[in-house]
Amino acid sequence: MPDSPLLTAAAVAVITLAIAVVVGVGIKLLRSFRELGTDAERATYNTLHAASSAGQHLRTGLNPAGAAKASRQLRNLLGCDALAITDTAGVLAWDGAAEELKPRLMELAADVLIGGRTAVLQARDLGTGHASGSFAAVIAPVRAGSRVVGVVAAFAPAAGAGLVRATSEVADWVAVQVELAELDASRTLLMEAEVRALRAQISPHFIYNSLNAIASFINTDPERARELVVEFADFTRYSFRRHGDFTTLAEELRCIDRYLLLERARFGDRVQVSLRIAPEVLSTVIPFLSLQPLVENAVRHGLEAKEGAGHITITANDSGAYAEVTIEDDGVGMDPAELQSMLAGHHDGDHVGLRNVDARLRQVYGDQHGLVIETAPGEGTLITMRVPKSQPGHDA
């Protein structure tokens, strides 16, 4: 049956209207783009837009999720075949081709991470030239202050002067984002450090078990129960005090002594403790509650899971301009890679106290004064803390 003239006219009208809408939108977009002016102005806009988009993903610093999203924008910005972002521990993101080089990137970037100078590697240096194509690389350091915290690596068929300069500029831009993220983190730490130090480190697990241990002595040994109640009260009073961000090593050791008295009431001879303390460092000022969480970590995550008795050794030595404190246990140990990831803030874990103390030490004294932790599964854990003996402006 042939179409009626009325139906045909309606169809033509609809199609004409659709074409008019599409053409109108296209003209509007074209006019908007032309309002940017010259080709150079449009190129500038595209560059700034890509940088802005990538910056949103790096607001929390160098981490796998943010780096993966930012790398796509940055690769388009450089016009390279592949782009990678690393921190000092591993590859955070890889976008584009040449993935056969990804397992080798940290080896290729080792000199850049150590020396802080951009490296240009030709295809013969990389050993490329497979069916997927030949690639050269520009590896530029990402600096945060005086530290090299990662690299930006760009891969392309040739590494000319333009790509070298552009990659270095992108790495410097990434460094600015990292420094801004660290500044934000520092501001947050400044506001939250006291609450975290005073409260988060006193785990409900410890309080619950201490009260249960005290209750177990009420009928069998009332005198010891009374002593433990006094120790528990003194410990919690010190731990939840409201004044001061600093204390002395002597005060912190007294807190640890009360804590261990309560733990030994629960574990008995399973927890053995040795102390070797140099008297000349007892007056050293240290951040409040910076040692007790380390000892609690040794008990909870080192000895509690171990069969039989465990031993904790606490030492404090005079090391020239510094006081060096170590907490060592012969417990079950930790996986170093998981510990490093947790300290870097990539995920939450059971060792929140370690991350809290490490972050506060770095905030107060600088990154070179973070915790040094030596551990392995089944090998126990050794934690070392070094603080300056002279600290103008820090009062206990």
310 membership: H or E segment, kind and range? strand 310-319
CA distance 281 to 317: 7
Q: Which helix (H) or strand (E) holds 382?
A: strand 381-388
Q: Which H helix or E strand runs over 383?
A: strand 381-388
CATH code, residues 39-198: 3.30.450.40
Structure tokens at 362: 């770095």
Per 3-state DSSP, the chain is made up of helix, strand and coil in percentages (nearest 5) of: 55, 20, 25
Contact assessment for residue 164 and residue 182, using Cβ atoms and an 8 Å cutoff: no
Q: Where are the domains of the chain?
A: 39-198, 222-388
Q: What one-character DSSP code corresponds to residue 201?
A: T
Round to whole Å and give the CA distance between 142 and 147.
Answer: 8
Q: Which value, in Å, is the radius of gyration of the alpha carbons in the chain? A: 30
Q: Which two tokens stand for residue 359?
A: 């972050």
Per-residue pLDDT of the chain (396 residues; tens, 9 = 90+): 444 443 344 443 433 444 444 444 444 444 444 455 666 555 554 555 556 666 677 777 888 988 888 888 888 888 899 999 999 999 999 999 988 899 999 999 999 999 999 999 988 878 655 444 688 999 999 998 888 999 999 999 988 999 999 999 899 888 888 888 777 666 555 545 544 544 555 556 677 778 888 888 888 888 988 888 988 888 887 877 655 578 899 999 998 999 898 888 888 888 899 999 999 999 999 988 889 889 988 988 888 878 888 999 999 999 999 999 999 999 888 888 888 887 776 665 566 778 888 888 888 888 889 999 999 998 999 999 999 988 766 666
> What's the predicted TM-score (pTM) here?
0.52
HSE, side-chain direction, 13 A CA sphere, residue 237: 9
What would be the CATH architecture of the domain defined by 222-388?
2-Layer Sandwich (3.30)
